[in-house]
Amino acid sequence: MMLHGIGASPGTAVGRLVLLGGIDVDMDGDPETAAPGSVEDSLARLTVAIATSREEIVAIAAAARDRIGAEHAAIVEAQLLVLDDPEWYGPVVDAIRAGATPTAAAWATSQEIADLLGSLEDPYLRERSADILDVGQRVVGHLTGSSRAEALSDLSGDVVIGAHELTPTDTLGLDPDVVRGIVTEVGARTSHAAILARQLGIPAVVGATGLLEFANNGNLVVVDGDAGVCTVNPEPDLVDRARADAASRAGRVVLRQTVTTSDGIPVLVYANASSPQDVERAVRWGADGIGLFRTEFFFMQSQSLPDEEAQAAYYGAAAEAAGGRPITFRTLDVGGDKPVPGLHVEAEENPFLGVRGVRLTLAHRRVFDDQLRALARTAARYANVSVMVPMVSGLEELDEVRAVLEEVAPAAAFRFGTMVEVPSVAVLAAEMAEEVDFLSVGTNDLTAYLLAADRGNKHLHYLYTEFHPAVLRVLHQILVGAGTTPVSVCGEVAGDPRSLPLLVGLGFRQLSVSGPLVPEIKARIQRLDSVGIGRIAESVLRARRHADVEAALEELSALVEPR
């Protein structure tokens, strides 16, 4: 049986399915209500469950730090704060003293606090609501013997994890040496768990509706993270092909040199990074440079706003790890979905059309000034440093940023560029290109804004796609408008093997992708013939409907030699 979903992390996996139970705790099924113990017993069990949860969080954070970097570990560590918080612990104990079972007390308290936080206007506090539920679920898991983390730590052989949904913490707790694939019923390519799966290099399919209905624990499954298909009880020849594919990717040679298409056109493959550790790993995977260093994760993981000194040290460590390769830092891109401790962002009716990115940093000059000074210091110490600005909507904002730079760091020696994420800047690509050193297309947001479709909205997956004819025409218009000014693509589409022949065919010569994808993308570029794909890409620009684009993509994939 084939379950169709969305390819969220590329690659092929073969393994036995391990289904994880639901995230919602069903209190009707509370095993303890049948045999309640004394209050002392209950409190003792709660203490043990909390201690076990704490050990577990510390272990997951340590593994995450090793595998993919400190900023990801911080996602899990936030849960330690909840366990230590009297606002959570106090009401749980009170409820037990009032006669509730520890399970009911821990879950009801977590839900109440999460509901309360979820209803607040401050996006930072709203975000904490998910942490509280995650902690509640973890503690309840230990009280009832249904811990997800325990189930995940006890795996052996080649396993594919199946679930209705995985939290970022569940994903971070996966050991890529055992967990070969992931398949979930809900989720999006751009959801946090999907991004983490790509960082860990685990093939994943999300949105595979019917998984829990049609598949059982122990079923053999094949996960095709490129096509977005999960096959349950596959035919033997599919298993053989999938195993061969997985083996050939595992043995993929890291290509340290810049690669060219088969007819000699160089295409730079940079990596996206959020920490110095990310940069280090990207270099190991053979990245030609760092095309997008997201600085916001450093802000998000710090307890308060990092000052100029701390930022200079952090950016310096990233530039050092790049070892002279080009590195492009993006100035703070928060607001909307990404709250930062210590930076009060007013709640807005519609944050994705509100004060985010450069709009926010221009309004919080102390934060912006410190960051620009720290970046100028980094550029003074290291070669090949570039800085770009997110969410720019016109030349006026670039003028303002330049004026700030002139005031706070007049000697700044970095190349200066802009992200192209707001459609107005795509329309003005020629004018923008005349005034910057480079453009970098953020297709994640550009697609959302062009189609007026939120990238995380599960009802709009059918609409949110970079393969919409309008998005592809706009990508082409940006390239044409930019003329000789370099343009890179740093949105998630750049690392999608299916879109690669199309992007290179349209004329993009610089891509920035998730680090673990670099070897795969480089290998594929070497198999492209720029003339053949160019012809088909041109025909895509005449596409009127999504289906026309799909047909061209089929034609393109047939043209690219089989592995």
Contact residues for Mg ion, defined by CB under 5 A: 421, 442, 445
Using CB distances below 5 to 8 A depending on partner kind, what does residue 443 bind out of Mg ion, ligand PEP, none? ligand PEP
- Angle in degrees, CA 199, 166, 23, rounded to 5: 160
Q: Counting beta carbons within 10 angstroms of the beta carbon of residue 251, is it exposed (0 to 12), middle (13 to 18) or buried (19 or more)?
A: exposed
Using CB distances below 5 to 8 A depending on partner kind, what does residue 490 bind out of Mg ion, ligand PEP, none? ligand PEP
**For ligand PEP, which residue of 442, 505, 516, 519 counts as binding (CB under 6 A)?**
442
**Which of 20, 300 has the CB closer to ligand PEP?**
300
**Which of 270, 382 has the CB closer to Mg ion?**
270
- For position 466 contacting ligand PEP by CB under 6 A, the verdict is no
Number of residues lying near ligand PEP (CB under 6 A): 10
Using CB distances below 5 to 8 A depending on partner kind, what does residue 294 bind out of ligand PEP, Mg ion, none? ligand PEP
Q: Counting beta carbons within 10 angstroms of the beta carbon of residue 104, is it exposed (0 to 12), middle (13 to 18) or buried (19 or more)?
A: buried
- Is the distance from CB of 483 to CB of 430 less than 8 angstroms? yes
Known catalytic membership, residue 490: yes
Residues between 418 and 437 that touch ligand PEP (CB under 6 A): 421
**For ligand PEP, which residue of 444, 465, 485, 499 counts as binding (CB under 6 A)?**
444
CB of 491 to Mg ion, least distance (A): 7
Per-residue x/- track, 331-350, ligand PEP (CB under 6 A): --x-----------------
**Which of 221, 334 has the CB closer to Mg ion?**
334
Which residues have a Cβ under 8 Å from the Cβ of 45 and sit 6 or more positions away?
A: 37, 102, 143
- Angle in degrees, CA 171, 176, 180, rounded to 5: 95
CA atoms within 13 A on the CB side of 282: 33
- Is the distance from CB of 266 to CB of 259 less than 8 angstroms? yes
**Which of 204, 441 has the CB closer to ligand PEP?**
441
**Which of 457, 526 has the CB closer to ligand PEP?**
457
CB of 237 to Mg ion, least distance (A): 42
CB of 451 to Mg ion, least distance (A): 15
Residues between 402 and 421 that touch ligand PEP (CB under 6 A): 421
**For ligand PEP, which residue of 128, 294, 325, 364 counts as binding (CB under 6 A)?**
294
**Which of 111, 444 has the CB closer to ligand PEP?**
444
**DSSP of 162-179, one letter per residue?**
EES---HHHHHT--TTTE
The phi and psi torsions of 487 (rounded to 5 degrees) equal -125, 130
CA atoms within 13 A on the CB side of 55: 7
Residues between 477 and 536 that touch ligand PEP (CB under 6 A): 490-491
Closest CA relative to residue 263, chosen from 79, 469, 535, 50:
535
- Is the distance from CB of 100 to CB of 108 less than 8 angstroms? yes
Closest CA relative to residue 502, chosen from 556, 446, 442:
556
CB of 243 to ligand PEP, least distance (A): 34
Alpha-carbon Rg for the chain in angstroms: 24
Question: d(Cα 293, Cα 328) in Å, to the nearest integer?
Answer: 6
Tell me which of 72, 192, 364, 468 is the catalytic residue. 192
- For position 170 contacting ligand PEP by CB under 6 A, the verdict is no
Using CB distances below 5 to 8 A depending on partner kind, what does residue 461 bind out of Mg ion, ligand PEP, none? none
176: tokens are 């890529």
CB of 503 to Mg ion, least distance (A): 17
- Is the distance from CB of 4 to CB of 229 less than 8 angstroms? yes
CB of 490 to Mg ion, least distance (A): 9
Closest CA relative to residue 352, chosen from 272, 440, 444, 417:
444
CB of 338 to ligand PEP, least distance (A): 8
Q: Which residue is nearest to ligand PEP (CB)?
A: 442
**For ligand PEP, which residue of 170, 245, 445, 529 counts as binding (CB under 6 A)?**
445
Applying CB under 6 A, which residues contact ligand PEP?
Answer: 292, 294, 333, 421, 442-445, 490-491
Residue numbers annotated as active site: 192, 490
